[in-house]
């Protein structure tokens, strides 16, 4: 599909918001792996749930501006369909 | 079932053309201790390990695919503007002759990936010790790769990947302890 035309301001915002999502999602990956071997760590579970909520909120905002992050019904679609629009992760 | 997320796990900022470094990085793409080997090894072992450690293999295996995508991004960006001449000078003439600038699952010397790099023994302790060794070997490879570049952005991404190997190794070591404790408990009661 066609590549989106972004202004410099949009590009800056894209990288900033993506960076925030990457940070929050990293916490979730790390806690997930940790909890697989420490299932009774109550504090870690609370932190996991807290960051899961943060991640969802950040992604909702990001997707309303830059289109869906996930496919197969895990993100709502824009009109027109933009899931397969560039940029893909290796292009940014 | 997997859901694709249109983002890298960690940023890969590469703005220069350096096919020489790309050639070395391919080691972690299609090499014996690379991310493809890791992902496929864990994803395959998970079917026959005890329930208590399936999740560990499943989730680390999934993260390895995200690392594979990061390595691919580095290689893609480092070579995308290279001329045929630059590819040749970087020692990628053999690769170019066969693949142009497409990525391929082979190691830094061009040896294609093979399933004989990985094992599934049907014995969870044997499998997990292999997994710990795999993580330590990958960690060492990342260090050797870091030693060969002075690109601070590339070093940043490679350092992230090196650290993940340490964490994965730790989780696999804990998995071994979980299985050992389980075995002891079965003996006692």
pLDDT digits (tens, 9 = 90+) for B95-135: 999 999 999 999 999 999 999 999 999 999 999 999 999 99
pTM reported for the whole predicted model: 0.96
Distance from CA of B124 to the nearest CA of A (A): 16
In the numeric block, which tokens belong to residue B139?
A: 């960690």
Residue B189, pLDDT above cutoff 80 = no
Measured distance between the N- and C-terminal CA atoms of chain B, rounded to whole angstroms: 38
Residue B62, pLDDT above cutoff 70 = yes
pLDDT for the residue numbered A3 = 57
The tens digit of pLDDT for each residue in A19-69 reads: 999 999 999 999 999 999 999 999 999 999 999 999 999 999 999 999 999
Instruction: pLDDT band for A6, please (50, 70, 90 cuts).
Output: confident
User: CB distance from B156 to chain A under 8 Å?
Assistant: no
Closest CA to B39 of B179, B175, B170, B168: B168
Helix (H, G, I), strand (E, B) or coil at B178: helix
Cross-chain residue pair B73–A70, CB shorter than 8 Å: no
CA dist A18 and B7 (Å) reads: 8
Helix (H, G, I), strand (E, B) or coil at B112: strand
Distances (CA, A) of B110 to B69, B77, B134, B159: 19, 19, 20, 24
Is the ipTM above a cut-off of 0.90? yes
User: CB distance from B159 to chain A under 8 Å?
Assistant: no
Residue B58, pLDDT above cutoff 70 = yes
Instruction: pLDDT band for B185, please (50, 70, 90 cuts).
Output: confident
In the numeric block, which tokens belong to residue B32?
A: 């014996």
Long-range residue pairs from B107-115, CB within 8 A, at least 24 positions apart, any chain? B107/B26, B107/B27, B107/B30, B107/B31, B107/B32, B107/B34, B108/B23, B108/B24, B108/B25, B108/B26, B108/B27, B108/B31, B112/B30, B113/B30, B113/B31, B113/B34, B113/B36, B113/B37, B115/B40
Among B4, B77, B174, select the one facing A37 at the smallest CB separation: B174
Which chain B residues touch A19 with a CB distance below 8 Å? Answer: 11
Among A19, A33, A69, select the one facing B59 at the smallest CB separation: A33
Q: Domain ranges in chain A?
A: 1-63
CB pairs under 8 A between A and B: 59
Of all residues in chain B, the percent with pLDDT exceeding 70 is 99
Distance from CA of B9 to the nearest CA of A (A): 6
pLDDT for the residue numbered A4 = 66
The tens digit of pLDDT for each residue in B2-39 reads: 999 999 999 999 989 999 999 999 999 999 999 999 99
Q: What angle do CA B35, B25, A71 make, to 5 degrees?
A: 50
Query: How many Å is the maximal CA-CA distance in chain B?
Result: 70
CA dist B62 and B2 (Å) reads: 9
What structural domains and CATH numbers belong to chain B?
Answer: 19-188 (1.20.1260.10)
In the numeric block, which tokens belong to residue A1?
A: 């599909």
pLDDT for the residue numbered A5 = 78
In the numeric block, which tokens belong to residue B175?
A: 């998995």
Among B7, B59, B72, select the one facing A69 at the smallest CB separation: B7
Distance from CA of A64 to the nearest CA of B (A): 14
In the numeric block, which tokens belong to residue B15?
A: 């703005």
Helix (H, G, I), strand (E, B) or coil at B165: helix
Residue A1, pLDDT above cutoff 50 = no
The strand ranges marked E within chain A are: none
Residue A2, pLDDT above cutoff 70 = no
Residue B187, pLDDT above cutoff 90 = no
Distance from CA of B122 to the nearest CA of A (A): 21
Contact B143, B136 (CB under 8 A): no
In the numeric block, which tokens belong to residue B166?
A: 């340490």
């Amino acid at each position: 599909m066609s590549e989106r035309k972004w202004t410099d301001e949009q590009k800056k915002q894209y990288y900033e918001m993506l960076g925030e999502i990457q940070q929050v999602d990293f916490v979730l990956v790390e806690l997930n792996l940790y909890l697989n071997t420490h299932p009774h760590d109550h504090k870690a579970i609370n932190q996991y749930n807290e960051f899961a909520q943060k991640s969802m909120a950040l992604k909702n905002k990001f997707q309303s501006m830059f289109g869906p992050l996930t496919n197969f019904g895990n993100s709502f679609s824009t009109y027109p369909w933009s899931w397969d629009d560039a940029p893909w992760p290796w292009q940014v | 079932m997997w859901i694709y997320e249109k983002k890298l796990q960690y940023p890969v900022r590469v703005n220069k053309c350096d096919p020489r470094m790309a050639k070395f990085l391919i080691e972690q793409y299609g090499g014996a201790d690379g991310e493809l080997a890791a992902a496929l090894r864990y994803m395959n072992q998970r079917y026959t390990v005890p329930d208590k450690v399936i999740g560990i293999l499943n989730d680390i295996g999934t993260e390895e695919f995200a690392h594979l995508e990061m390595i691919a991004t580095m290689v893609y960006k480092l070579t995308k503007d290279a001329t045929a001449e630059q590819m040749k000078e970087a020692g990628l003439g053999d690769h170019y002759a066969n693949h142009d600038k497409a990525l391929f699952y082979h190691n830094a010397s061009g040896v294609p990936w093979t399933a004989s790099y990985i094992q599934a023994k049907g014995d969870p302790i044997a499998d997990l010790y292999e997994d710990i060794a795999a993580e330590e070997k990958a960690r060492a490879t990342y260090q050797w790769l870091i030693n060969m570049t002075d690109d601070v952005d590339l070093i940043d991404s490679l350092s992230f990947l090196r650290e993940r190997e340490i964490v994965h190794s730790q989780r696999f070591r804990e998995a071994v302890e979980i299985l050992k404790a389980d075995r002891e408990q079965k003996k006692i009661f």
